[in-house]
Chain A
Amino acid sequence: MQGPTGAQSILTTAISLKSITRRFGDVLALDAIDLAIAEGEFFAMLGPSGSGKTTCLRVIAGFEQPSSGELSIFGARAETVPPYKRNVNTVFQDYALFPHLNVIDNVAYSLMLRQVPKAERYAKAEEALEMVKLAGYGARRPGQLSGGQRQRVALARALINQPKVLLLDEPLGALDLKLREQMQEELKSLQRRLGITFIFVTHDQGEAMSMADRIAVFNLGKIMQVGTPEEVYLRPASRFVADFVGSSNVLPPEFVGRLTGNPGWASLRPEAVTVTPGAGANLTGTVVSRNYLGATTRLVVDMGGQRIHAVVPSGASVPMEGTPVAIAFDPAALHRMSDAP
C-alpha cells in the first residue's frame, strides 16, 4: 500500500464535474454542479441534509447516474461507467460491512472477487488491518465490534484496493465526540501518508474545517462556495455560507448602513466582536443571553432589534444578562457579501 511519492503532482485533476444535474422525479438534487478536485487533495463537501452533497458523492462513486452533465475521473469520462469498474472506493455512512463475513473476509472482499489466492489476500488484508490498528481482529464478526472499530474495518476494506480516490460519506457521524476527534486526526494523517485523494461528505462544519484542504459548501443542490477553510470561514460568499459555516452574524443592509454609512449585506464573526459594559458609546445594546463554554463565553446582544452574537474570553469582566453594553469591532472584520441568499 504505497502512495505516490511525488506528492507535488497536486495539479492533476482527479475528479471533474461539469454541469452535473441529477433529478429525482420533480426534485432537483444536483443543479448543474461544476467542480474540480485535484489529485491528493483532502476535499470536503459540506452542507445541511438534503443539500445534494451525498448525491454528488454517489454520482462520483457511480451509484447514481447524472441526469445530464459530464463526469471525468482522471481525465476519462465516467458517467456511464458502472461502480464496479471505477477505481474509486467508498466508506459508507453506516459502514455497510457484510454481516455474514468476518472482519478479514470483509477486508479481503475485493481481492476475493478478483480471485487472488487465499493466502495472499489474507496477508494483504492483515496488512490493511494493521494500517488501521486492528491487527488480529480478522476472525471477529462485524457485530462484535464497536462503532469505531467498524469504521476502521470499512476504511481498511476501501483502501485495500489502493484506489486513486477514496470517498467518505459522513464517515464519523455515528461516533461519539471523543472518538470522532481521534478519527479525524487519524484520517488526516492516513491521507497524508497515502497521498490518495479523499473526498468526504459532512454536515459538521467544524469537521470540514479541521480536516479539509478545500471545502465546497452545498445548499439546495447547488455549490454556494468552494475554497480553503480560511476563505470559507473568513470571507463567506453569501448569507447562507456565513450562517452555515460557524454561525456568523449575518447583518442586513440597513443595519450595515447604520454602522458604516454604506448599506449592503455583511457578515461579522462573533469572535471579532468585543463587548464592554456600560452605555453611552456609539454601538450599544443589552445582553440577552450568556452561555459559558469554558475558555470562552457566548453573548447575545440585542441592539434595537438586531441581535449580535459575540464570543469573548471567559472571565470576571463578562457582563451579566440584562446589562447595557457597548460593542466594538475592527472594521476590517466586517465582510461584505453579495446580495444573493
Chain B
Amino acid sequence: MSTAGNGFTEHRHGALTKVSDLFWRRPNLLVFLLLLPPLLWLGVIYVGALLALLLQSFYAIDEFTGMVDYDVLTLKTYRELFNPANLDIIIRTVLMASVVTLASAVIAFPIAYMAARYVRGKWKAMFYLAVMLPLWSSYLVKIYAWKLILAKEGILNWLFEQLHLTGLLQAYLALPVVGGGSLSISYTGTFLVFVYVWMPFMILPTQAALERVPVNLTDASSDLGATPWQTFRHVIFPLALPGIIAGSIFTFSLTLGDYIIPQIIGSSRLFIGQAVYAHQGTAGNIPLAAAFSVVPIVIMGLYLWMAQRRGAFDAL
C-alpha cells in the first residue's frame, strides 16, 4: 500500500480523512450507516405503532365495567364491526372513497396528459404551481371556504339563481342519497370537497407516469392502424396505469381515513374516521376504534393485491 515518496500518494492524515478512506474501501458500510436511522424510524415507530394498533383490536371492552379487558385475546370486537350500524359506516366510507377516486382519476387524467405532453418550460412551472397552490393553504381553511361556497346562502346557489337554474339544483337536492337540504349538508357536498382536496395527489403521479411514455409510442400505435381512442386504450392508459394507481392509493386511503371533511360538510352520518375518533375519545372503546382503523388497511391491501394481479404494475 505504501508508496510514499514517489509522488503517487498524497499525505493527508486527519481523522476525517481516515473515515473517508474507510468508507471508500467499504462502500456498504456507508450505505448501512445512512439507512440505519430511517430503518429504525420505520421499524420501531411506524410499524411498531401499527402492530400495537393491531394488538389493541384483539381485546374487547367489558360491557359491565366499560373497561378494556387486557387479559383475553378475542375476535369479539371484530364481530362488532359487522353490526348493521358499523357495517353501514364501512360501506358508506368505501363507496365514498371509490366514487371520489374514480372522479379524481377522470378529472385528473386530461390535466395530467396536457401537462405531460404539451406544456413546456415556463408553462410547466405554472402548471406545478397551479396544482400545488391549494396545498399551501390550511386544509381547515379550505374546507370552511367550501362550506360557505356550498351553503344555501353561498355563491353556488347565487350562481344557479343568476342562471335561472335554481329549479334544477332543487330537483337534484330532492334526489335520495345524493341530495339533502343544501349542497353543504349532502353527500354530494362531501364528495365535491373530497375530490377538490385530494386532486393534486391524483394529478401529480398520473402526470409523472405519462411523462415517461415516449411520444413515438403514440405515433407507432397510430401508424399500425389504431384510432386515437384505440391508442388511448391499448397504449397510453396501460402505461399511465401505475401512476393512476399510485394516485388512487392517495385519494382512496385519504378518503377512507378522513374524519374532518364529513364532519363539517355533509349529512351527519358517520364515516370510518369519525367512528374511530368517537370510539377512542368519548366512548373510550379503544379496541373498536383499533378494529375500525384496521379496515382501511385491509381494504388497501386487497386493492393493491387486485391491482397487481390485473397487471397494473407490469409497466413499471
Q: Which of A's residues lie within 8 Å of B, judged by CB?
A: 61-63, 82-84, 88-90, 92-94, 96-100, 109-110, 112-114, 157-158, 161
Interchain nearest-CB distance for B37 vs A (Å): 35
Of A82, A88, A99, most buried by chain B (CB within 10 Å of CB) is A99
Q: How far is the CA of A103 from the CA of B214 in the complex (A)?
A: 18
Q: Which residues of the partner chain A approach B214 to less than 8 Å between Cβ atoms?
A: 94, 96
Within 8 Å of chain A (Cβ to Cβ): is B129? no
In the complex, the answer to whether A100 meets B238 with C-beta atoms within 8 Å is yes
Chain B 190-221 near chain A by CB (<8 Å), digits 1 or 0: 00000000000000000000000010110111
Are B235's CB and A98's CB within 8 A? Answer: yes
Q: Are B219 and A90 in contact (CB under 8 A)?
A: yes
Whether B219 pairs with A89 at a CB distance below 8 angstroms is: no
A157 to B224, CA, bound (A): 8
- Is B71 part of the binding interface, using a Cβ–Cβ cutoff of 8 Å? no
Q: Which residues of the other chain, A, contact B216 by a CB distance below 8 angstroms? A: 92-94, 96
Asked if A84 and B220 make an inter-chain contact with CB atoms under 8 angstroms apart, the answer reads no
Residues of B within 8 A of A97 (CB): 220
| B273 shortest CB reach to chain A, Å | 36
Answer whether residue B315 sits at the interface, using C-beta atoms and an 8 A cutoff: yes
Contact (Cβ within 8 A) B223 A83: yes
- Interface of chain B, main secondary structure: helix
Q: How far is the CA of A112 from the CA of B227 in the complex (A)?
A: 13
Instruction: Give the tally of cross-chain contacts (CB within 8 A).
Output: 65
Please, which residue of chain A has its CB at the minimum distance from the CB of B315? Answer: A100
Contact call B226/A84, Cβ cutoff below 8 A:
yes
List 19 interface pairs A-B (beta carbons < 8 Å), by A numbering: A61-B223, A83-B219, A83-B222, A84-B224, A84-B225, A88-B223, A89-B223, A92-B219, A93-B216, A94-B214, A96-B214, A96-B216, A96-B219, A98-B220, A98-B235, A99-B239, A99-B315, A113-B224, A161-B225
Q: Does B80 contact A (CB under 8 A)?
A: no
Q: Determine which of B223, B226, B234, B239 lies in contact with A90 in the assembled complex, contact meaning CB atoms within 8 Å.
A: B223
Q: Kindly list chain A residues whose C-beta atoms are within 8 Å of the C-beta of B223.
A: 61-63, 83-84, 88-90, 158
Establish whether residues A161 and B224, one from each chain, have CB atoms under 8 Å apart when the complex forms. Answer: yes
CB contact under 8 A between A100 and B314, given known A109-B224, A113-B230: yes
B contact residues, range: 10 to 19
Residues of B within 8 A of A89 (CB): 223-224
Kindly state the separation between the CA atoms of A100 and B222 in the bound complex, as whole angstroms: 17
The residues of B that contact A98 with a CB separation of less than 8 Å are 217, 220-221, 234-235
Task: Report A-chain residues with C-beta under 8 Å of the C-beta of B226.
Answer: 84, 109-110, 113
**Chain A residues with Cβ under 8 A from B217's Cβ?**
96, 98
Q: CB-defined interface of B86-97 with A at 8 Å, one 1/0 digit per residue?
A: 000000000000
Distance, CA A161 to CA B238, complexed state (A): 24
Residue of B nearest to A169 (CB): B216
A62 to B224, CA, bound (A): 12
Contacts of A110 in B (CB 8 A): 224-226
Q: Which residues of A contact B234 (CB under 8 A)?
A: 98, 109, 112-113
Query: In the docked arrangement, what's the CA distance between A97 and B217, Å?
Result: 7
CA separation between A222 and B226, bound complex, in Å? 32
A84 contacts B239, C-beta separation under 8 Å: no
**B220 in contact with A90 (CB, 8 Å):** yes
In the docked arrangement, what's the CA distance between A73 and B314, Å? 39
Q: What are the residues of chain A within 8 A of B230 when measuring CB–CB?
A: 113
Which of B214, B221, B238: most chain A CB closer than 10 A? B221
A84 adjacent to B314 (CB under 8 Å): no
Q: How far is the CA of A90 from the CA of B221 in the complex (A)?
A: 10
Distance (whole angstroms) from the CB of A204 to the closest CB of chain B: 21
B235 and chain A: residue at smallest CB distance: A98
Please report which residues of chain B, range 232-280, place their CB below 8 angstroms from some CB of chain A when the two chains form the complex: 234-235, 238-239
B222→A109 contact, CB < 8 A: no
Q: Bound complex: CA of A94 vs CA of B220, how far in Å? A: 11
In the assembled complex, the Cα of A197 lies from the Cα of B234 at a distance in Å of: 29
